[in-house]
Amino acid sequence: MPPLKRKSVEFDLGDKYNEPDIPDTPRLTISRKRKDSHTTIHVPYLAGPYKQLNKIGKGSHSIVYKVTHPTSDATLALKKLPINDYKLKTNRRSTILKEIEIHKLVNGHKNIISMIDHFEIDATMYMVLELCGAGSLYDIICRSKRSLREWEAKRLMIQLCGAVDWIHEKNIVHADLKLSNILIDSSNNLQLCDFGHSFVSTDIDNNSINKFGTPNYLSPEIISNFILSDKKDLYFPKESDIWSIGIVLYAMIFDKTPFEATTLRSTYENIVECKYGFVENKRVSNKVKKLIQNILKIQPLERKTIVEIVSDDWFHTSYFPDEINLRENNSDLNSMFENELSTVSRYYSLTNYINCLIDAGLKKYLITPGNHNKNLQKKERRFMEGTHGVTKSKKYGKFDRQLKCLQDLSALKQLERLGKLSSNYFKILNSTSLNVEKANEILRDQCYFSLLSLNEAAYITELTQQRMPSRDSISTLKAPIMVSTIHQEENGVIRYQLSNQDIGSIYPNSHSLLRVKEEDAFWYICPDNEKGWISKYFDKAKIPKEFIELLTEVEQFGSKISNVSSNLPFITKSSTTEADIFLRKYTKFENFELFELSNALQFNFEDSGSIISIHENGQLISFNTMSNNEVLTMPLSAFYGSSEYNILADKINIIKCCLQIRTTMSES
């Protein structure tokens, strides 16, 4: 797939306002003898005419000129839209008026091109717009013959997200986000333009959608439902804009769109299947790749929201500039500058990041919602302002608090989004029943405190920049006993084996049997309305008659799986006084399994083979390493600063969402 290239058409590389949909055929050069080459445009309610200087852009239904204002002599852009389309033999008045009305609604944001005036003369509609002298981002990338550097893209992405968030709040969907609809002004700030495809999301009628944006930027649901077929299933308009943001980010970083193919049909197929890759031999951080992957999801509700995007680690864990200059392309200077980035203070970048969010209209996401407890606020402030050696000034403590608010809101938005997916992504395929409220309450508390510990550890690690301790310092931490094998029989009985080779069964009435291998004995366990669970220990030599058949079935299961390999090593109890472990509840979701054990919460992910356990009241985390089949255990705070967290971050986010759902749900 070739990089972005300018089509071979006549174009002034000076100041311009570029409109979308550049035609494949060369543009006709406007003769200076033509009536409209250097004309004045008289508007009845103005003292003088607009002076038309030169053509600076052309779209499929419009031409854009540079003009001077009648009274202020300010240089502006004038977009000329003929009402009658003689080629298609249609009247476009209603379409043009709709674009004007939508532009009126979204006026007032720093990163949206301002519409100053509009009027109609001789069956032609005119829109007077702010002029962006640097041209479109598409033009800039084509002229410089390079993609943007990550720190340049960061600033523009925050501004783009601020603009899209603004229009989405007004229930407007842009529907044609792309590089050529992103202008850069003289201060190198982003300006979103062209609302010709936009519509009000609350007024959308799936049966009347008949126009779309640019093919390379279309979302899978639009192509699947409205182009390749006529299913007209549920449409997610705002999430389609999010998809386009992901395409824009990819194009900024890699100088090409991800799904482009030799034919339009192939491009559509690539988009529907989300079939793309990253450019090889290009120095790009894993964090920006991961962000792109989290936006370009086939399922609309799996895509990050605006808040989740702007709070992503990619923005604030490395250099963030206070300004950028896209017009300069001094490779030697840039190379020298990039070598100095590693020495830039975290708080210098954090300051620029927070200020950019505020300038982009996203300040509302940096404030704790609701009535925050004042005493707690004071404690947080003292903590962040240096009492614990975290920051050096009140100013930086404020930025840390704002970042924490943003991350908390992002987590809530993620839970809200995935909550909508709970019937699919968190669809329960199988679960053991547990009809005793006290037992369910204990399980909900276990999930709640584990979630609390995960969030707290992430927060502290972010503040202190704590890093992974040495392997020697954590080698003494013992891994918990975990489930190594699980099997459900046709009669609904769940059989499982633990990593210490104890074997258990959970029966449809929620009662359990646990055979303790080392002691040649077994436990009978059942839920209780007062204590949650009660149990009784039996020596194998004195088995009650009613348990003989049940215990025989357990032994048979143990013999059947004796040669089955496991991703977990054999783990023994520390002492004979250590409590025996049993499985309280088992839940199988679409993509992972949750084991609620008496000592831990264990998550098994089928796609990667990852096994993660949170134990010791949420203070420790254990996970298997696929390379040498061992289980590594460390404090949660140390885990968040480790390289292993980068590998398992996606899984941790799924665990958080699952725990949030489990703390609020009743028995399912």
Helix, strand or coil, per DSSP, at residue 468: coil
Task: Name which of 137, 264, 275 is nearest 212 in CA terms.
Answer: 264
C-alpha 78/C-alpha 55 separation (Å) is: 9
Residue given tokens 């885990």 in the structure block: 639
Instruction: Write the DSSP symbol of residue 225.
Output: I
Q: How many CB atoms lie within 10 A of CB 303?
A: 24
Query: For the stretch 435-459, what's the b/e string if a residue is b when 16 or more beta carbons lie within 10 angstroms of its beta carbon?
Result: ebeebbebbbebbbbbbebbbebbb
C-alpha 421/C-alpha 204 separation (Å) is: 22
Helix, strand or coil, per DSSP, at residue 30: coil
Give the tokens for residue 412. 């809530």
Query: For the stretch 308-330, what's the b/e string if a residue is b when 16 or more beta carbons lie within 10 angstroms of its beta carbon?
Result: bbbbbebbbbbbbbeebebeeee
Residue given tokens 């300006």 in the structure block: 191
79 is in an annotated binding site: yes
Instruction: Write the DSSP symbol of residue 301.
Output: G
Query: What is the maximum alpha-carbon separation in the chain?
Result: 110
C-alpha 621/C-alpha 615 separation (Å) is: 6
Task: Name which of 277, 201, 293, 286 is nearest 243 in CA terms.
Answer: 293
Return the H-helix or E-strand segment holding 395. helix 394-420
C-alpha 514/C-alpha 300 separation (Å) is: 44
- Kindly write down the DSSP assignment for every residue of 321-358, as one continuous string: -S---SS---HHHHHHHHHTGGGS-HHHHHHHHHHHHH
Task: Name which of 298, 292, 262 is nearest 277 in CA terms.
Answer: 292
C-alpha 455/C-alpha 53 separation (Å) is: 58
**55 CB burial (10 A radius; 0-12, 13-18, 19+):** buried
Residue numbers belonging to the annotated binding site for ATP: 79
Q: Which residues are annotated as a binding site?
A: 79
